[in-house]
Structure 1
Amino acid sequence: MKSNSKGEWKSWGKALFLALGIAIVVRTFLFSPYVVDGESMEPTLHDHEKMFVNKLNLTNRLSRGEIVVIKGKEEYYVKRIIGLPGDTILMKNDNLFINGVLVKEPYLSHNLKLAKQMGSKLTDDFGPITVPKDKYFVMGNNRLYSKDSRNGLGYFSKEQIVGESEFVFYPFSQLRNTK
């Protein structure tokens, strides 16, 4: 009895081709793994951590506070959306005001404490600035060491936003949601 008939090889080939096609579609349009590069999102995300990014239906979900992956001119960045199109942003004494309203940033508590211990501010004062139509203003959580919309990267369009961070999957001991 032949265990590897021509029909069996053909069946395996179709299954492999289908699985590869599904994997390409999922990675291209739904979810992708990304590696955090640098310390600009510390302590929320750490250098070399691997995370899954949701690419599905972004235009309806982009909101202030979301962690996103952005395609820059030469590389990808992981940042937090701070300002939406049309927002007026003011930073004064480590307090963020958007459209004149104080915005709480609980994800900064650790870094704010460290900055105060060093006798400095976490975020230099700036603004007011108005985010242009169809653009987003982003910053890292580790603002003393973050290249972002304030200092060189500028604004980003929704087409440049690859997806929003869902969860860290590696290292396995640090598995967690990033929402």
Structure 2
Amino acid sequence: MKSFVKNWGLFLLVLATFIILRVYFLTPVSVKGHSMDPTLNDGQKLLTLKTDDADRFDIITLKEPDDLSKLAVKRVIALPGETVEMKDDQLTINGEVVSEPYLEEYLTLFKAGDLAETYAYNPDFQSIASNASNFTDDFVFTVPEDEYFVLGDNRLVSKDSRYFGFVKDSYIQGKVIWRYWPLNEMEVF
């Protein structure tokens, strides 16, 4: 028995730790689509910490409210009970102006009329960028208790709370904590 523990003990301990972390705490996910560009890109690999709540500006994985079989990656914008408004590309929450620095790259391209070039991979996206008057359409919502309002960073093409509604606590699958692929873009969130 001592020989078995000596030879296999460390391996079994590491394996058990990995299994416990994977089952109860961590989930690997892949980004599919362009709704979080340029923060997260199609095909990138992420590690999420399993949770059912989130803070403002956390990037989370969630079940889409209109199709619970789909998993999406979005950014939390408004918390339960808050009133969120977008007017002329300016976000306010409960009447307070809120900065969104993660939008700067695409918003700058949009205002310069150059975002359509960035969308060269998709003619439909190019058309949307060419015909839009704002990077984020104007809206006003009051978020119900125990729900969240989420948006993709690539506002022109993102399917998010503006379309599928508010996100219940129970639909939140995890908070993105680490981009591990591609290696040259590795980042802790």
Q: Secondary structure at the match of 1:107?
A: helix
Aligned to 1:42: 37
Structure 1 residue identity aligned to 2:188: N
Please, which of 68, 73, 87 is the counterpart of residue 60 of structure 2? 68
Equivalent position of 1:125 in the other structure: 138
Q: Residue type matched to 2:170 in 1?
A: E
- Higher mean C-alpha displacement, 134-143 vs 25-34: 25-34
Helix, strand or coil for the counterpart of 2:167? coil
Gaps of 5+ in 2: 114-129
Question: 1:45-86 CA distances to partner (integer Å, 9 max, x unpaired)?
Answer: 111101111226x54xx2111111112311111000001000
How many angstroms apart in 1 are the aligned matches of 2:136 and 2:96?
17
Shift in Å, 1:143: 0.4
User: Superposition pairs for residues 2-151 of structure 1, below 5 Å?
Assistant: 19-55=14-50, 59=53, 62-72=54-64, 73-118=68-113, 120-127=133-140, 129-151=141-163
Q: How big is the alpha-carbon RMSD for the aligned residues of Structure 1 and Structure 2? A: 2.1
The answer as to whether partners of 1:85 and 1:135 remain within 8 angstroms in 2 is: yes
Tell me, in whole angstroms, the C-alpha distance in 1 between the residues paired with 2:183 and 2:17. Answer: 25
Q: Tell me which residue corresponds to 2:167.
A: 156
Counterpart of 2:142 in structure 1: which amino acid?
Answer: T
Listed as ranges, the gaps of 5+ residues in structure 1 are 1-5
Deviations, residues 2-23 of structure 1 (Å, cap 9, x unaligned):
xxxx985688677766554432
Give the structure, 1 or 2, with the largest relative contact order (CA under 8 Å, sep 6 or more): 2
Q: Secondary structure at the match of 1:143?
A: coil
Contact in 2 for aligned 1:67/1:164 (Cα 8 Å): yes
Partner of residue 3, structure 1: none
Q: Give the TM-score normalised by structure 1.
A: 0.84
In 2 relative to 1, CA 171–43 (structure 1 residues): closer, same or farther, beyond 3 Å? same
SS in 2 for 1:96: strand
Q: CA deviation at 1:117?
A: 2.4
Q: Which has the larger radius of gyration?
A: 1
In 2, Cα distance between equivalents of 1:14 and 1:39: 44
Partners of 2:5 and 2:179 in 1: how far apart? Answer: 38
Matched residue pairs, number?
168
AA matched with 1:54: L
Give the CA deviation at 1:110. 0.8
- Check the 8 A contact 1:112/1:121 in 2, yes or no: no
Deviation at 1:177, TM superposition (A): 2.1
